[in-house]
Chain A
């Protein structure tokens, strides 16, 4: 199934370059990467959790919280580590709740999302504030002819490929996601699963930093759509929501396709509301294409 998003991606790109003359311009393509970057980062994290048969519905809330923390107008050496620490703690709590206290991941991360939304609204009731200048400089800058979002995306893809497909942790993630028996082969099941949740939340925090750099302020609602969008991208990329199967390449293609879709629909002047309907429909079609053994969550 991995080829579906790739084919869809190519078809959409060809159609858009023919249908509008603004698509294949350098400016729009740079824009596209900057738009796709956040979704890509958060989807890579979501994929790790989905591989171990979990689901993280709190990534959107983590993104909002991160923009709120860095917009507190504290000095950058304080606020950036603070945001990352908060993200790591969220992941640790999510992981501990699901692994040690055996709370269902949907319940644990949904409860977490509610709590984080409350905290974010306390910190920043409406959009505003200023983020440290270093964030904007990194996100909007360029190294030689290449803009930094492209470099960051490549680093994220490379790093995640090494982690998932070349490291011991990656192997363990697949083993834990593949079935109940990983423990008997010496895999520290609980620790592996908690690690996946922590990495997912940290990646969501990085996404929040990226977005804060782009918009230059904090926004309590900016993360909202990312929980569902990241699940869509992961599912679109051929990662089985039943766990155990997934790839970085597929997730990249899934995230790229979603970003291309919204970029293209913006160029074609499709209203944001219709885009929402289309996104939901795509998600439905994708899960239809993934046959599973059991009925349920």
Chain B
């Protein structure tokens, strides 16, 4: 009983997830099938992968608002055939290289130049969006390579491949944070950067590493996001940034504190999957979705602020 309470208390997302699941089961019992829920969970995989990066930078007291720009750029390059049409290796390495580059720039500016993370990542995001817009010059990009679409629809063992990738990445990150020295260093920097520095933790390098991993996750999220649509688009990105912060906070991770670990934010994204399912089946419009998302961020943050010692 006590461990259950401890587990539920570590992040708001667990309780919210159970409540939403119960609401869905009560209002739309026909949706409670594994293959239908699988489809809805597959939709939030880009968000889920991006959140892995966002939670990492938020644990070292930073933030990444450039994710939207990274995803937009990767989506544009993939769907306009920049990385070719039929070589998966090229598409993946090309996308990851972009994520790595953006992560390095963000990380260097934030960690070594000590510039404000909000301003840096906001500015990098704007530059990336500007690059995409001037490349596209008002024209929408072409079709997404068929290969990506096939991978997206692949179901090894009945589970959608994107969901498998997501769980795999979350597990890896959980091992990285829980079992490796680097994970301890992330904890130390988040808890108190000055104390961490005095204890010999390479603070700047840890923050840089978090931003680089976050850039890579944004790239991976961009790949899945692109695979999920047939034709390229210049439209998405901004709401993904907002949602990634929301899911992270809902998962019990806030600047410098990581009580929710990696699985708290994982279920935070799960909450969004259920929420989208509910709102779609109940016929709620996009503006109301925005309001609900904003309210969730605010409420989760208030609950967390009140519990802060």
* Chain A contact residues, CB within 8 Å of chain B: 55, 97, 101-104, 106-108, 110-122, 125, 228, 231-232, 235, 241-242, 271-281, 283-284, 287-288, 290-297
* Distance between B116 CB and nearest chain A CB, rounded to angstroms: 5
Task: Tell me if B141 is interfacial: C-beta within 8 Å of chain A.
Answer: no
6 other A-B residue contacts (CB within 8 Å) besides A241-B118, A277-B134, A287-B120: A114-B293, A115-B290, A115-B298, A119-B287, A283-B126, A284-B109
The listed residue (A106, A115, A284, A291) touching B114 by CB distance below 8 A is: A291
In the bound assembly, the distance between CA atoms of A18 and B298 in angstroms comes to 51
Contact A118 B288 (CB under 8 A): yes
Interface of A is mostly: helix
One of B6-14, B34-42, B213-221, B300-308 at the interface: B300-308
- Nearest CB to that of B208 among chain A residues? A295
B293: chain A residues within 8 A (beta carbon): 114
The listed residue (A119, A120, A125, A295) touching B61 by CB distance below 8 A is: A295
When each residue 131-144 of chain B gets 1 if its CB lies under 8 Å from chain A and 0 otherwise, what string results? 10110010000000
- The 7 A-B residue pairs with the shortest CB-CB distance in the complex, in nearest-first order: A114-B294, A276-B130, A118-B290, A115-B294, A280-B126, A277-B130, A273-B134
- Nearest CB to that of A240 among chain B residues? B116
A292: chain B residues within 8 A (beta carbon): 114-116
- Nearest CB to that of B299 among chain A residues? A111
B291: chain A residues within 8 A (beta carbon): 114-115, 118-119
* Distance between A183 CB and nearest chain B CB, rounded to angstroms: 18
In the bound assembly, the distance between CA atoms of A295 and B209 in angstroms comes to 14
Task: Tell me if B188 is interfacial: C-beta within 8 Å of chain A.
Answer: no
- A-B CB contact pairs (8 Å), 8 listed: A101-B301, A107-B254, A114-B294, A228-B123, A241-B116, A280-B124, A295-B62, A295-B114
In the bound assembly, the distance between CA atoms of A290 and B118 in angstroms comes to 14
* Distance between A190 CB and nearest chain B CB, rounded to angstroms: 14
B207: chain A residues within 8 A (beta carbon): 295
The listed residue (A117, A271, A287) touching B119 by CB distance below 8 A is: A287
B308: chain A residues within 8 A (beta carbon): 102
* Chain B contact residues, CB within 8 Å of chain A: 60-63, 109-111, 113-120, 122-127, 129-131, 133-134, 137, 193, 203-204, 207, 242, 245-246, 249, 254-255, 286-295, 297-298, 301-302, 304-306, 308
- Nearest CB to that of B301 among chain A residues? A103
Contact B298 A111 (CB under 8 A): yes
Interface centre among A107, A119, A278, A294 (most CB of B within 10 A): A107
- Nearest CB to that of A286 among chain B residues? B119
* Distance between A1 CB and nearest chain B CB, rounded to angstroms: 14
A280: chain B residues within 8 A (beta carbon): 123-127, 130
B245: chain A residues within 8 A (beta carbon): 107, 110
Contact B110 A295 (CB under 8 A): yes
- Nearest CB to that of A284 among chain B residues? B123
The listed residue (B61, B203, B297, B306) touching A110 by CB distance below 8 A is: B297
- Nearest CB to that of A242 among chain B residues? B116
Contact B193 A288 (CB under 8 A): no
Contact B63 A297 (CB under 8 A): yes
Contact B113 A288 (CB under 8 A): yes
A277: chain B residues within 8 A (beta carbon): 126-127, 130-131, 134
The listed residue (A111, A272, A281) touching B127 by CB distance below 8 A is: A281
Contact A101 B306 (CB under 8 A): yes
In the bound assembly, the distance between CA atoms of A122 and B294 in angstroms comes to 15
Contact A296 B115 (CB under 8 A): no
The listed residue (A112, A271, A287) touching B123 by CB distance below 8 A is: A287
Contact B287 A295 (CB under 8 A): no
Contact A295 B111 (CB under 8 A): yes
The listed residue (B113, B120, B249) touching A107 by CB distance below 8 A is: B249
Beyond A114-B242, A288-B115, A295-B193, whether A228 also contacts B126 by CB under 8 A is yes
B254: chain A residues within 8 A (beta carbon): 104, 107
Interface centre among A106, A281, A290, A296 (most CB of B within 10 A): A296
Beyond A107-B301, A111-B301, whether A287 also contacts B127 by CB under 8 A is no
* Distance between B60 CB and nearest chain A CB, rounded to angstroms: 8
A284: chain B residues within 8 A (beta carbon): 109, 115, 120, 123-124, 127
- Nearest CB to that of A93 among chain B residues? B298
Contact A122 B287 (CB under 8 A): yes
Contact A297 B130 (CB under 8 A): no
- Nearest CB to that of A96 among chain B residues? B302
Contact B114 A231 (CB under 8 A): no
Contact A241 B130 (CB under 8 A): no
A102: chain B residues within 8 A (beta carbon): 305-306, 308
The listed residue (A115, A125, A295) touching B295 by CB distance below 8 A is: A115
Contact B126 A274 (CB under 8 A): no
Contact B298 A295 (CB under 8 A): no
In the bound assembly, the distance between CA atoms of A242 and B304 in angstroms comes to 24
- Nearest CB to that of A103 among chain B residues? B301
Contact A114 B297 (CB under 8 A): yes
Interface centre among A274, A275, A283, A284 (most CB of B within 10 A): A284
* Distance between A286 CB and nearest chain B CB, rounded to angstroms: 8
* Distance between B190 CB and nearest chain A CB, rounded to angstroms: 10
Contact B301 A283 (CB under 8 A): no
Contact B301 A104 (CB under 8 A): yes
